[in-house]
Amino acid sequence: MKRLDINYSLQAMDVLVSLARYNFVLRTTNDYTKKVLDFGCGSGYGTKVLKERFKNVDSFDVYPDGYLPEGMEVNQDINSVKNNKYDLITCFEVIEHMDEAAQHQLMDDLKSLLNPNGILYISTVRKMDPPPTENRKVEHIRELSFEELLAFCTGRFENVFTFGQIDQNISTFYKENHYHFVFIATGPKGD
């Protein structure tokens, strides 16, 4: 039996944690004809995962990180997506990089981009005070608690299913043990 040669680093662990959210979408969706938007996609690594199953996937990020997987293009023009309607939107680890007013606007924008039967997958890191890393102190403008993210979702969607994430595991266990929150919201409420 050949052994794996693993060069472990915390950055590699972050990649696995991020990819787990995209794999969660693939495991909880069985209709791969859906039109998908990966909102706040960074380099598009998650978009690449989604494109392995879904045929129609758009990616958007205002601040892509400069690394693009081969064959990927990250759209930076919000006007190119704002007139579309999507069946499924992912928005992973975006909302904590905004102030409260921008968070409300983001949620309204995501809701408006969804078809009436659309599904939103949204995640954020759990609010910790003080932030445990220098990166979070600098990059995260307003982290959210479970209850705050739930309020954002229930104010705009009929159905909200809550999950938490520890490393690569996404489950419904006790929320205080989770490092990330991963919610599925369906049934956009009428205005």
Q: Indicate the CATH number for domain 11-188.
A: 3.40.50.150
Residue 65, pLDDT score: 66
> Half-sphere exposure of residue 128, counting CA atoms within 13 Å on the CB side?
15
Confidence bin at 168 (pLDDT 50/70/90): confident
Partners of 165 in beta bridges = 170, 180
pLDDT tens, position by position, 73-97 = 788 888 888 889 999 999 999 999 9
Of 132, 137, 124, which Cα lies nearest the Cα of 165?
Answer: 124
Determine the pLDDT at residue 68: 66
Distance between CA 19 and CA 79 in Å, rounded? Answer: 27
The domain ranges of the chain are 11-188
CA distance 83 to 33: 20
Q: What is the pLDDT of residues 127-165, one digit of tens each?
A: 988 888 888 889 999 999 999 999 999 999 999 999 999
- Considering the entire predicted model, what is its pTM? 0.91
- Most confident residue range from 1-10, 60-69, 77-86: 77-86
